[in-house]
Amino acid sequence: MTVTRGLEGIVATTSSISSIIDDTLTYVGFDIDDLAENASFEEVIYLLWHRRLPVASELEELKKQLAQNMALPQEVLDHFKMYPIDKVHPMAALRTAVSLLGLYDNEADIMDEEANYRKAIRLQAKMPAIVTAFARIRKGLEPIAPREDLNFAANFLYMLSGKDPEPIAVEAFNKALVLHADHELNASTFTARVCVATLSDVYSGVTSAIGALKGPLHGGANEAVMKMLKEIGTLENVEPYIRGKLANKEKIMGFGHRVYRKGDPRAKHLRLMSQKLTELTGEPHWYQMSTEIEAIVTGEKNLPPNVDFYSASVYHSLGIDHDLFTPIFAVSRVSGWLAHILEQYDNNRLIRPRAEYNGPGMQQYVAVELRG
């Protein structure tokens, strides 16, 4: 047996959804730069699920279906009110809520293609409602119902704050959603595929994926970046703080990647957004500190920033609570998880690798009263 720790470089499936080749990320053959500049998140959802961009009527239909399916069952909202609210991380709340949603979906265990597609729409639509409702309920505020006249990105911001979002905020948020939508066989997507390859249901697949995304080596990194920026506090403190961490062999959150070598193509879009937004909010130091950190980490370790690094200051500038950053990643990435789940069902084989055993050799059972 050859052991490949972390499955690095192992090609575990074929997929027609997204690809990373020579540090270029494409969704269905469209360069991420092209999509980030031009596409709406709804178009990207359609692209990932149908492997082509929608024509105008198809896009309208998808937007309508998403808007109509956003509202949550009252049971889910009531459930939030039972949580020990000050102790629950929104990612844990999201993971639980998606699992709970499955209990109220009559089609949860109906596994035909059409039923699975309908569940995909419902789940994609309800993710922003879950995140924003939880964010409000924990502050003692009532959840805000979605508006059918707003697009996906605007609806999220509206349901969070209750205010009509500024066009620049909608643009930034839409871009972030587009950039996070899919990423080949990343850890959470792989988790989703492993789960549904047992022919478990869509809700189980997405629930497991949320669990994988929560960790700081994956989606949890964006929240960790903001925590670091706050800890650093001032531009002058960047250099001693980062050099100290590197000297202690500690990881700098938002840097490095398993697949990219020269750099994460998504980071530059968020860097630009971070610059614009931090200037607008009168807090340019978050951007300045970030570029300073980038210069040091890239210089010392040759590690470029990944998607999570500049998304932190972007979301902060949009007035979003820091522990909602990773749930926002999930609101976008669920589009990719669902595409992969549907693709897995379409050509399924159980995913079951092996482990090389390195425990003790054969042993004899000894009754408990005779053990020393």
Ligand X SMILES: CC(C)(COP(=O)(O)OP(=O)(O)OC[C@H]1O[C@@H](n2cnc3c(N)ncnc32)[C@H](O)[C@@H]1OP(=O)(O)O)[C@@H](O)C(=O)NCCC(=O)NCCS
User: What positions carry a catalytic annotation?
Assistant: 257, 308
CA 114 to chain centre: 25
Interface region with ligand X, contact rule CB under 6 A, candidates 96-104, 188-196, 246-254, 351-359? 246-254
Within 10 angstroms of residue 129's Cβ, the number of other Cβ atoms is 24
Q: At what angle do helices 325-346 and 187-196 cross, to 10 degrees?
A: 40
How far the first Cα of the chain sits from its last, in Å, is: 36
Instruction: Compute the least distance from the CB of residue 187 to ligand X, in Å.
Output: 9
Binders in 117-156 for ligand X, by CB under 6 A: none
Choosing from 89, 257, 276, 285, the residue that interacts with ligand X (CB under 6 A) is: 257
- Cβ(41)–Cβ(174) under 8 Å? yes
Choosing from 18, 132, 174, 306, the residue that interacts with ligand X (CB under 6 A) is: 306
Q: Does 252 bind ligand X (CB under 6 A)?
A: yes
CB closest to ligand X, residue no:
256
DSSP E strands in the chain: the ranges are 18-21, 24-27, 30-31
Task: Give the DSSP per-residue string, 222-251.
Answer: HHHHHHHHHHH-SGGGHHHHHHHHHHTTPP
Q: Does 303 bind ligand X (CB under 6 A)?
A: yes
Choosing from 45, 129, 307, 331, the residue that interacts with ligand X (CB under 6 A) is: 307
Q: Does 301 bind ligand X (CB under 6 A)?
A: yes
Instruction: Compute the least distance from the CB of residue 371 to ligand X, in Å.
Output: 39
Interface region with ligand X, contact rule CB under 6 A, candidates 35-43, 105-113, 169-177, 251-259? 251-259
Residue at 78: amino acid letter: D
Choosing from 255, 287, 337, 345, the residue that interacts with ligand X (CB under 6 A) is: 255
Choosing from 217, 233, 235, 279, the residue that interacts with ligand X (CB under 6 A) is: 217
**C-beta of 105 vs 264, nearer to ligand X:** 264
Residue at 90: amino acid letter: P
Choosing from 135, 308, 310, 342, the residue that interacts with ligand X (CB under 6 A) is: 308
Instruction: Compute the least distance from the CB of residue 22 to ligand X, in Å.
Output: 17
Choosing from 176, 221, 242, 277, the residue that interacts with ligand X (CB under 6 A) is: 221
- Cβ(181)–Cβ(340) under 8 Å? no
**C-alpha–C-alpha distance, residues 137 and 41, integer Å:** 26
- Cβ(11)–Cβ(19) under 8 Å? no
At residue 77's C-alpha, the angle toward residues 72 and 81, to 5°, is: 170
With CB under 6 A, what is the number of residues at the site for ligand X? 17
Residue at 277: amino acid letter: L
Q: Does 251 bind ligand X (CB under 6 A)?
A: yes
Instruction: Compute the least distance from the CB of residue 259 to ligand X, in Å.
Output: 8
Nearest to 136 by CA among 321, 311, 331: 321
Instruction: Compute the least distance from the CB of residue 266 to ligand X, in Å.
Output: 9
Interface region with ligand X, contact rule CB under 6 A, candidates 15-23, 39-47, 135-143, 253-261? 253-261
Instruction: Compute the least distance from the CB of residue 179 to ligand X, in Å.
Output: 11
Helix then strand count (H, E) for the chain reads 16, 3
Residue 321: partners with Cβ closer than 8 Å, 6 or more residues away: 135
The contact set with ligand X (CB under 6 A) reads: 6, 217-218, 221, 251-258, 301, 303, 306-308
